[in-house]
Structure 1
């Protein structure tokens, strides 16, 4: 007879495993043929774990439908790699929980080993277009954030008119996005042994740049005073940096904190220097 607390914990594990089973099965239906077999294999493994816990709990458990659908939609709309890696983060916590009862239930070692192997399967699972071109996306995002936050800060003091700042910012941003797209096209074209399509690489860079520009210029277009709009632009830049770096950190395993603080420091640092340049240029040219 299992003690009450252990039984409760095993029921939780059992429910988690059947939830993961349903998630992997749903994802297998929207993935390509190359990934489908691996996802079904992962699902079957989770179901075997469910059966393992069932022999101790002596009961059936229903999946957590909300969590299964959340994982499904996350993978569907943010990319299969991102969704699976996010799920694996949860499974790492499960591994720690399994280890905590290893002495009480040595048989759980088999489940623990399977969960550790899942990480290898997921890492080798797929090559998504989003991740192949992530360097192009980073290029467009980094340049737009650093260049345009700096430019808008300089324009704010030099021009002191929200609509004029928005107009100049859009012209600068659109011109820069075309330039960056062309540069990435030539750069990726010269790369050897790369899976990148140079035209797509250019599109990813240019589109990322112009979307970022649109978000940064938006506060000036919405009628805020120049300095209020600048503050909102800087807040928007930090938010974009946070969201993007969280995505990259989960999908590729990169360090979130290091990249986030590095990009934030560069963007805000360049914006501050550009603001000072705006003051200096306005003073030197004697513009009131």
Structure 2
């Protein structure tokens, strides 16, 4: 078989495509074994078989010395599928597998058969993963409700009492009491609202809302438990940084799993949370001075 001579950059692109195909085959096979839903299991088995077939075809046409996937990358992808769900991992892989536009145009000229094969397989795979059904994505709205409310309410409350109380332990106690009470209130309100709308999964929806709220509370209070009593300014700085990291991570997750715009949602949530924190901070200082409270 006469094969076109490949330059180093194109050889690397072909090798990457081969590695991606093999990684996909192993990952989808693993995900198939974890599915309780029969349709999801069959879809992953089909995706794994398709990737394996592509690997063999690619390997015969464009052999490489070494195109085995990284064990570490595969391990990380498996761990992410447990923590963040299979939808996130599958769509993240799809983004990783896409060649840069310039490199893809070059491949179409140098290796038209390989380019067509990749294009057809990506389209087929996108059609298949569009049929996958992951339970947690049905409750993204509930998670957003719990997360967003906790960020706004707790960030404001903690910012308001940090400089008023000037004591990390007192702030932590306030945050824990406020946070747990608000978690129960938010979960109950979500349950009642969903029941009123006739949602048969109202209880599970409220659990997702409560869990998102409680996890956020724990992360925001943690700096005040770790820092010494007098280092409330440092604890406050870490708390604000944590808020931004939570917003960053959650919006990145949504941008991949739900294919929603990242930057706009991130800036919107960050602006709201930080604005509430600033307003609450001012209220806390004013209240301390007006009431003449000294917690030291």
TM-score, normalised by the number of residues in structure 1:
0.90
Structure 2 partner of 1:122: 129
- 2:20 aligned partner: 16
Note closer, same or farther for the CA distance 1:169–1:13 as it changes in structure 2 (3 Å cut). Answer: closer
Aligned to 2:270: 264
Match of 2:210 in 1: 206
**For 1:128-152, what per-residue CA distance to the aligned partner results, in whole angstroms no more than 9, with x for missing partners?**
2221111111111111111111111
Q: Does structure 1 retain, via aligned residues, the 8 Å contact 2:20–2:97?
A: no
- Quick one: which of 119, 130, 133 aligns to 1:112? 119
Distance 1:200 1:285, change over 3 A: same
| Superposition map of 1:81-160 within 5 A | 81-93=87-99, 97-108=103-114, 109-126=116-133, 128-160=134-166
2 CA distance for matches of 1:211 and 1:77?
14
Show the counterpart of 1:162: 168
Residue 102 of structure 1: SS of its match in structure 2? helix
Give the number of aligned pairs: 285
What CA distance in whole angstroms lies between the structure 2 residues aligned with 1:154 and 1:41?
Answer: 55
Pair 1:2-2:4 in alignment:
yes
Does the 8 A contact of 1:146 with 1:270 survive in 2? yes
Larger mean Cα displacement after TM superposition, 92-101 or 75-84: 92-101
| Structure 1 portions without partners, runs of 5+ | none
RMSD: 2.2
Aligned-partner SS, 2:99: helix
Instruction: Mark the CA change 1:113 to 1:180 in structure 2 (over 3 Å): closer, same or farther.
Output: same
TM-score by length of 2: 0.88
Superposed CA deviations along residues 69-108 of structure 1, whole A, max 9, x for unmatched, are 3322221332111111111112333787444311222223
